[in-house]
Amino acid sequence: MFVATRDELEEQVCGVLLEGDNAVLMSEEDYEAWQTTLYLFSTPTNARRLSEALGRSDAGTYTSRELDRT
């Protein structure tokens, strides 16, 4: 059994299972981030919008706005 603290899992650990398949061990926080990214890019329309927004951000051609939290 492998036990590590969160600090020890800042980077993913790759190992080999007995059957010869590769395995990746990562923190729960990293796993949740991957799952969120996969979900957000799961539809073509949302993926396109996110990619366009990233392009605008990289180019510095975006408009910053405050959120109305009321």
Q: How far apart are CA 22 and CA 18, in angstroms?
A: 9
pLDDT at 57 over 80: yes
Ramachandran category for residue 4: left, alpha or beta (phi over 0 → left; psi -120 to 50 → alpha): beta
pTM: 0.55
Residues 36/42, Cβ–Cβ less than 8 Å: no
Q: Which long-range contacts (CB under 8 A, 24 or more apart) does 3-7 make?
A: none
- Domain boundaries in the chain? 9-59
pLDDT digits (tens, 9 = 90+) for 3-12: 555 555 556 6
pLDDT at 32 over 90: yes
